[in-house]
């Protein structure tokens, strides 16, 4: 239990560090591009002062855009994919590449990511349920990634059992489902069990009392009351 807790803490620290590095790299790349733009502007200044005036304005505008993008990424900007978007779409469930993983987590507020193997039957079972939930709950982004083709993040996130489903909120992986853990532990678990797990972790909004689990509690209470009457 102690080792498992330490592993979870270490995993979260590593994941957050990787994401922080990604943000830093993005900002440095944008600032480098900005400096190159300034160099070009300075060179052109000697040739045409009028063009330089407009170039400075463009430079300032670019700086503002860089800072806006930085702020949006830090806040885990909510970005829905449209028909022409190259990113995964809300209400859909598709594969992403390892190179897309960090951007997917950073640019979307809530992400459910399934690390899978294409030949594992248990992963196919998880796929079936996640696909259905993704279509019914477009408020959250659902994606999957082939663990074999994502060795870096499989190691960094300590992915040892497949399927593993990662829950991410505002760029931070905070919870996971390993195998069918917490889903009755069997392959024929109901989609509702997975939905309630997602609702419990505030990854999706329940559409009704059944998804939130309130209905089952009410029924259970009623049954218990009926049994008590019969005993007497």
Q: What CATH number does residue 116 fall under?
A: 3.40.30.10
What strands, in cross-sheet order, belong to the sheet with 141-146? 93-95, 141-146, 110-116, 164-169, 172-178
Q: Do 11 and 99 fall into the same domain? A: no
Mean pLDDT value across residues 197-209: 95
pLDDT above 80: residue 209 = yes
Residue environment code for 201-220, b if the CB has 16+ CB neighbours within 10 A, otherwise e: bebbebeeeebbeeeeeeee
Q: Which domain range does residue 186 map to?
A: 93-214
pLDDT above 70: residue 154 = yes
Q: Do 98 and 194 fall into the same domain? A: yes
Q: Do 122 and 34 fall into the same domain? A: no
pTM over 0.75: no
Q: Do 101 and 156 fall into the same domain? A: yes
Q: Do 47 and 113 fall into the same domain? A: no
Higher pLDDT, 17 or 77: 17
Q: Do 143 and 174 fall into the same domain? A: yes
Q: Do 60 and 156 fall into the same domain? A: no
């Amino acid at each position: 239990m102690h080792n498992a807790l330490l592993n979870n803490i270490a995993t979260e620290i590593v994941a957050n560090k990787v994401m922080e590095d990604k943000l830093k790299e993005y900002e440095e790349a944008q600032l480098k591009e900005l400096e190159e733009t300034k160099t070009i502007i300075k060179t052109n200044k000697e040739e045409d002062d009028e063009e330089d005036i407009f170039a400075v304005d463009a430079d300032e505008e670019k700086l503002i855009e860089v800072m806006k993008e930085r702020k949006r990424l830090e806040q885990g900007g909510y970005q829905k994919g449209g028909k022409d978007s190259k990113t995964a779409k809300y209400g859909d469930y598709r594969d992403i590449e390892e190179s897309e993983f960090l951007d997917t987590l950073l640019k979307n507020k809530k992400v459910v990511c399934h690390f899978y193997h294409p030949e594992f039957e248990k992963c196919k079972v998880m796929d079936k349920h996640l696909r259905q939930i993704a279509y019914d709950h477009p408020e959250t982004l659902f994606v999957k990634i082939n663990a074999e083709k994502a060795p870096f993040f499989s190691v960094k996130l300590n992915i040892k059992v497949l399927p593993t489903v990662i829950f991410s909120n505002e760029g931070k992986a905070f919870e996971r489902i390993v195998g069918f853990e917490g889903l009755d532990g069997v392959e024929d678990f109901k989609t509702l069990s997975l939905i309630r797990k997602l609702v419990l972790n505030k990854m999706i909004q329940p559409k009704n009392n059944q998804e939130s689990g309130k209905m089952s509690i009410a029924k259970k209470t009623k049954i218990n009351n009926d049994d008590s009457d019969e005993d007497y």
